[in-house]
């Protein structure tokens, strides 16, 4: 019997029993190999199982001769060169939901520690001092918690912080009013959240748009004495600006679990008494690791034994022939998703996608819709979106998605038309594929046009 070989780069095997004991799979454990070691080790392996400590670079990908899948036992895949993997036909998978509760609880722990000066008081007493007056804190009751991002982790934080009798406000343009109301959260604009909140907690991904989102200009608009918590991603908060605002007293305190450069043991922020730091421990609980491990075991068995692709972040879960037909439309739908995410005012409530033409009649268009939704939501959710989970996340956020297939078009043989509705407005975009390397936008909000969806587009 042929055995699929998986290289595992960390020691903890709890939760992986099903994978380790499977008769068709062989798992070799080589903890924390260096880049050079991994390049030499990877030959002959069909799967690579990693955590955040190991980087899967282009060199590793190029050295792999039989590698089919890289599985990240966790959420972020920043440590994997997904582009290089995709080019080589290697699937990259992750486990997006296993750390939700752990990250939520760590956030709350930091909020409580920050408000009551617990780490500072602990260090003071252990150094032989009894300084009750120095560490007078603040209650949470009656305060306003501002959440930037109301995805899975942000939602769990909101549920629990309501029990502290706090007012919860949130900015998330991709969450519906109905969903927020169910959580007891009031949706606000970004400007309103940063001005009204007593405590701000971040729960968004790091993208080009969110990098340095919390900078000196934004901090200047906040209440005097505000507190900031970041358990999301390093780089969302400008660390130099935060340092200056903490020193000036504009910001009373900060609690950080993530940093722009990791690992790090040196930062000006570490010198400040009003800063609490932890070394990226959000997902570091025994329970989260076991949940993730069990999911990893099921995913890899499904992949190698049953031919199923789950939680892929770089390619659709379809066969090669179908993918070849759909590839130009996947690219097109992703570009429309980015465009309409910029055009729409307010939180999306409904998405209508019309597929016109014979090519769509025999194909499952779920992957196309997922490609659109993935890009439409990707700039403002707190988890890695992929073709598997994009529509699920949208529905969790109260967005209705409808597909319509029409056999024949009038002006074009085949095209895609998408209408997105919010409480404030609706917008529409129609587009065609000319050939596998050329697509065009032919209508925006009822106006005919002929635009190649590349680079920067100004819509007036």
Sheet containing strand 91-93, edge to edge, reads 25-29, 4-8, 47-50, 69-72, 91-93
User: Could you tell me which residues come within 8 angstroms of residue 244 by beta carbon, excluding any fewer than 6 positions away?
Assistant: 216
In the chain, the N- to C-terminal Cα span, in Å, equals 63
The 3-state secondary structure of 96-143, one letter per residue: CCCCHHHHHHHHHHHHHHHHCCHHHHHHHHHCCCCCCHHHCCCCCCCC
CA–CA separation, 406 vs 360, rounded Å? 8
Comparing C-alpha atoms, which of 112, 268, 77, 104 is closest to residue 202?
104
* Cα–Cα dist 67/329, whole Å: 28
DSSP 275: E
Three-class SS of residue 95? coil
**What positions carry a catalytic annotation?**
233, 262, 280
Helix or strand holding residue 430 (H, E): strand 426-435
Q: What is the per-residue DSSP string for 3-49?
A: -EEEEE-SS--TT-HHHHT-TTEEEEE--S--HHHHHHH-TT-SEEE
């Amino acid at each position: 019997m042929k055995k699929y070989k998986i290289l595992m780069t960390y020691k903890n095997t709890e939760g992986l029993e099903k994978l380790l004991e499977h008769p068709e799979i062989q798992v070799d454990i080589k903890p924390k190999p260096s880049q050079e070691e991994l390049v030499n080790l990877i030959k002959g392996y069909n799967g690579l199982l990693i955590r955040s400590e190991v980087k899967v670079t282009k060199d590793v990908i190029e050295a792999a001769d039989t590698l089919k899948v890289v599985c990240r036992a966790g959420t972020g895949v920043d440590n994997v060169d997904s582009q290089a993997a995709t080019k080589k036909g290697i699937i990259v998978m992750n486990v997006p939901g296993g750390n939700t509760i752990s990250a939520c609880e760590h956030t709350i722990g930091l909020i409580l520690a920050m408000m009551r000066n617990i780490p500072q008081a602990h260090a003071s007493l252990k150094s032989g001092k009894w300084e009750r007056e120095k560490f007078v804190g603040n209650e949470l009751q009656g305060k306003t918690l501002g959440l930037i991002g109301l995805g899975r982790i942000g939602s769990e934080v909101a549920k629990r912080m309501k029990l502290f009798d706090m007012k919860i406000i949130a900015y998330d343009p991709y969450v519906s009013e109905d969903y927020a109301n169910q959580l007891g959260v009031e949706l606000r604009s970004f400007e309103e959240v940063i001005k009204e909140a007593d405590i701000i907690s971040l729960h968004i991904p790091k993208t080009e748009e969110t990098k340095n989102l919390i900078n000196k200009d934004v901090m200047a608009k906040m209440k005097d004495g505000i507190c900031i918590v970041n358990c999301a991603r390093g780089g969302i908060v400008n660390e130099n600006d935060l340092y200056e605002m903490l020193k000036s007293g504009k910001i009373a305190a900060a609690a950080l679990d993530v940093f722009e450069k990791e690992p790090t043991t040196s930062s000006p922020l570490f010198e400040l008494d009003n800063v609490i730091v932890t070394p990226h421990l959000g997902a570091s609980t025994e329970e989260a690791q076991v949940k993730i491990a069990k999911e990893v075991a099921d995913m890899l068995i499904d992949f190698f034994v049953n031919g199923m692709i789950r939680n892929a972040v770089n390619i659709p879960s379809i066969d090669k022939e179908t993918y070849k037909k759909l590839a130009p439309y996947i690219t097109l739908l992703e570009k429309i998703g980015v465009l309409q995410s910029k055009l729409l005012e307010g939180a999306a409530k409904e998405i209508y996608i019309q597929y016109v033409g014979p090519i769509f009649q025999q194909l499952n268009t779920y992957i196309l819709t997922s490609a659109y939704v993935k890009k439409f939501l990707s700039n403002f959710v707190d988890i890695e979106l992929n073709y598997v989970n994009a529509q699920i996340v949208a529905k969790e956020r109260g967005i209705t998605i409808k597909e319509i297939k029409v056999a024949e078009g009038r002006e074009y043989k085949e095209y895609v038309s998408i209408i997105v509705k919010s409480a404030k407005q609706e917008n529409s975009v129609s587009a065609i594929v000319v050939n596998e390397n050329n697509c065009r936008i032919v209508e925006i909000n009822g106006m005919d046009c002929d635009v190649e969806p590349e680079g920067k587009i100004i819509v007036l």
